[in-house]
Structure 1
């Protein structure tokens, strides 16, 4: 196992613990909010119960993503299963939108038609439940943020869709519980249920926005988003530094998972290299990319003789006979460690 694979496995293990912590917290909180909401009839508390149920289901999705994405590549999926995380994260976003956001908005509309006859004691109990929930959600959020810092900060941690979803869920939960507490307190003080209805609308709108952002990111990753620009910059710099490369004509990247990417480059070599030298150079360049950019798990090189490329460009043609293309001796499309 390489150092990069060891680091990835360790990060996955920490992410799994973070998701389990969030799941345990949400299950306990969902039960407490549901009981409190049914006893008090509080729409804000019921909205928060739906929020916690949605979060719990999403944590199950994320655990499935972590397990399934670790499967090795096979004949049906030669690039591996890293994109499983993106798929399950998309399902989690849909769950947040439907189970959390839509239900909360519905609770807000229903609250506007209520007469607001709740007792002071019942609302006090409801607020106590929410305060406990706030402490639990805050603890889970701190755990997730601690892991994000351990993985290089927010920018690096956001590359893992499971960790990104947990941070978004817990952050939204803290804000949502705060809104619910404010709505219940204002309802108690003024006797107007419109405050709780407003809190439900606010929670619903917040959940829908977070679900949209998470879903948009997962969609971009599923359809083939380019890898981090810094990765492209490092690969291009390495290629341009090779004495055998005359120019880098194109460089394409795609995320295969949180810590893996596909790299495809078309380069023009200096004139005078025979086919055997081209193959040796290509293998050496691939090895250099794997060492310098370990995230480049799949590397493909398409090499062309620079002199012939210029001649073909001037004639409006394509140097097919002398170009090392996908089927030629210098075509290099295998895992970056080769």
Structure 2
């Protein structure tokens, strides 16, 4: 068994800072335009951006907690703590962002009032859309190109990086929400019917609630325990089978642990003879495996005998 005792010292993902900076600027503008134009859709978007700001602050704190050094009670460290804070963020996005926006829209539908200076709302929403799109692009660029190549949806479902996953999801919801609000304001302005503006607020809330539910499902999978990408597992299995010391790979488990992997291998070895030779062989395989796959922080290698069968770990 090999344990890589390196300790992460890298800072929080840049995606969080991109999202936080853009949401502070956008929220300020949206509250201003909501006050000046009496737009429920703009107010829903302002609430959305405020919720996103709080989310990024929570994720920054969670990232800091996840970097705490392992102790006696937590020998694997606190990396998975970011999943807990990620779930809190998704729940907060659902309640504070989604439900509050729907409530604003419903209230405006029951108590309609005409928009004031609607062109101001259109201009601010367009500017906000550009800022949100730039933030989304910057967040996407923090994802490794080899993961982006298989599509962002697949990356979102397979990613173990909760902070980046949530930042990308929020940025995407922000772009869609701005588009919904813009359509609602323009429709209300052209038709002189404030109901469209109210429906825009409800639409923004539904977008946020859908994003939050999808994020909750993915983070729940990470909390329960999720395997590494299928491509990583296949690559690792193929690498093990090319080793001259290994006769057969019985079982391979690669479990996500925040930004790291926990690897458990059962394999039949070609080595025969003294126990010390077996230990050296296992140590050599573990060292080479760590060099080939740097994310493998904990490696547990169990030599298996043919007569023991092929039961997986």
With normalisation by structure 1, the TM-score equals: 0.80
**Aligned counterparts of 1:253 and 1:152: Cα–Cα separation in 2:** 18
Segments of structure 2 that go 5 or more residues without pairing to the other structure are 1-5
Equivalent residue for 1:324? none
Equivalent residue for 2:308? 309
DSSP-derived class of the 2:199 partner? helix
Maintained 8 Å contact 1:50/1:100: yes
1:1-338 paired onto structure 2 within 5 Å: 12=11, 15-16=13-14, 18-119=15-116, 121=117, 123-148=118-143, 153=148, 154=152, 158-258=159-259, 260-270=260-270, 272-306=272-306, 308-309=307-308
**Aligned counterparts of 1:229 and 1:21: Cα–Cα separation in 2:** 30
Shift of 1:151: 7.4
Residue by residue over 1:109-159, the C-alpha shift from the partner in whole angstroms, topping out at 9 and shown as x without a partner, is 11221232333x2x2322232223223222222221232256753466844
Shift of 1:170: 1.4
Maintained 8 Å contact 2:40/2:197: yes
Q: 1:159 to 1:57 in 2, by over 3 A?
A: same
**Aligned counterparts of 1:271 and 1:170: Cα–Cα separation in 2:** 53
Residue by residue over 1:215-250, the C-alpha shift from the partner in whole angstroms, topping out at 9 and shown as x without a partner, is 111111111111122222233223323333332222
**Aligned counterparts of 2:112 and 2:101: Cα–Cα separation in 1:** 19
**Aligned counterparts of 2:141 and 2:83: Cα–Cα separation in 1:** 22
**Aligned counterparts of 1:9 and 1:152: Cα–Cα separation in 2:** 23
**Aligned counterparts of 1:277 and 1:21: Cα–Cα separation in 2:** 52
**Aligned counterparts of 1:205 and 1:106: Cα–Cα separation in 2:** 11
Point out which structure has higher relative CO (alpha carbons under 8 A, 6+ apart).
Answer: 2
Shift of 1:262: 0.3
**Aligned counterparts of 2:27 and 2:271: Cα–Cα separation in 1:** 68
Q: CA RMSD in A?
A: 2.5
Shift of 1:68: 2.2
**In terms of mean alpha carbon deviation, does 89-98 or 77-86 score higher?**
77-86
**Aligned counterparts of 2:228 and 2:252: Cα–Cα separation in 1:** 11
DSSP-derived class of the 1:268 partner? strand
With normalisation by structure 2, the TM-score equals: 0.86
DSSP-derived class of the 2:107 partner? helix
DSSP-derived class of the 2:304 partner? strand
Shift of 1:211: 0.8
Segments of structure 1 that go 5 or more residues without pairing to the other structure are 319-338
**In terms of mean alpha carbon deviation, does 146-155 or 233-242 score higher?**
146-155
Equivalent residue for 2:3? none
Q: 1:127 to 1:107 in 2, by over 3 A?
A: same
**Aligned counterparts of 2:250 and 2:115: Cα–Cα separation in 1:** 71
**Aligned counterparts of 2:292 and 2:273: Cα–Cα separation in 1:** 25
DSSP-derived class of the 2:251 partner? strand
Shift of 1:79: 1.3
DSSP-derived class of the 2:233 partner? helix
Q: 1:148 to 1:9 in 2, by over 3 A?
A: farther
Structure of higher CA gyration radius = 1
DSSP-derived class of the 1:183 partner? helix
**Aligned counterparts of 1:291 and 1:190: Cα–Cα separation in 2:** 64
Residue by residue over 1:29-71, the C-alpha shift from the partner in whole angstroms, topping out at 9 and shown as x without a partner, is 2222223223333211111011001100111012113222222
DSSP-derived class of the 1:247 partner? strand
